[in-house]
Structure 1
Amino acid sequence: MKVQQVNRFERNDKLSFGYRREVILINTMLQTITINLWDDLALNEGQLLKENCIKNSIVSFYNLKMSTYHRFPQLQSTFTTGMLQNPKCNETERINLWLEHIVGKRSLNRLWVAKSIKECEEIKLEQLMDKKITLKNDMHYWFKATICEIENKSKPWYEACASCLKEIIKTTKGISCSNCTKQHVQIIQRYRLRMTVRDNDTSARLTLFEDVASDLLVAQ
């Protein structure tokens, strides 16, 4: 389970603020499920999940809805959404047995990564850079490469708009977001790593964001 920081944004009426927090859960099939929690759920239940995300907590949500956020289908909380942590039911007992016998002392996230890689198609960096392969929208790919250089290791973050997560613009008139076209936006810091990688004779520049970037920094 991964729980992002809560984001505050200005509502369309420009008179109040709302809150959003993204929660990524893993089910017993090692599939990820993304849920966007809004307002009180983002602040309260979302914070409770963040404080317990290092544990293999079992979470149940009810009265969610499916909608599109940033052009991707995701589950969203509603005014009637509720959350139960480690609910007392037969399904919880079944999941606990699965955690004990299948996961054990291993990291659930590592199991998910290993499964995801097995389901991806391996390609060469040369194929990607020279456009020798047609990438499908509904497929995931992976390639093996060596990190040659991390260009911004001393400052692996950028200042972003809390509403749309795009990089903000600082001028003599203040701070604005070119994407939201808003003035005096709230600023948050987000991880961003720029690097050069090499696969045999082919090199490429990659940009990694947020969890992927922070995980790599910890590994370094």
Structure 2
Amino acid sequence: MKQENRIFEKFLNILVLLGSLFIIVIVSIELLSLRPVLSESFILNTHLIVCFIFLLDFFVRWFYSGQGWRFMWRNLFFFLVSIPYLNIVYAFVPDLSHGAWVALRLIPLARGIYGVSLIVSWMTLSKVTNLFVTYLTILFIIIYFSSIIFFFMEHGPNPMVKDYWDAFNWSLMNVTTVGSNIFGVTKLGQSLAVILAASGMIFFPIFTAFVVDKFQKKRKEAEGQLSN
């Protein structure tokens, strides 16, 4: 029975990963397209299916955790970002503004990013390497989505954002805390610059810990060879 449960959990993990990647691809297409490419019904249906997979994974892990309500409180954030808010709000307010439509679609991305980073972390053995690779994955996704959201918001109002690569360059320069010669003219664009700078500042201590850990391992290996 336990073996069957593990197989089912692994199957759900694969579905969560595929759903996470699917969300990333679909949101990228929508934000980078200058005109509508995907139909409204397609977006609503896929959004509902992916959120259902996220919720199913959450409740299955809760059921087999044996932690009761403690599991719920510890993972409340992942439960909240798995709810299909777009479908719920659209059912009551069909005439959503485009900004609200996009914002509601971005909420499950938090669960999607976590799903991708979790799978990546499984590929590493060392705790320090695990932390480094996981955060590097999250940082890359933050850079990527900040750039496409910045392009979506600033293309047109901001004459300095001529194409996506201007937005991507802006994102890279801000995450290094160096700053870019492109400045956001919208409130969201200005806020994203702060988020990117904060993400970059968090990355440097983790990178330092990763380098120190590797250096210490190499030194221990060298000392072991000398003693032999």
TM-score (norm 2): 0.27
Using CA pairs under 8 Å that are at least 6 residues apart, name the structure with larger relative contact order, 1 or 2.
2
TM-score (norm 1): 0.28
Which is strand-richer, 1 or 2?
1
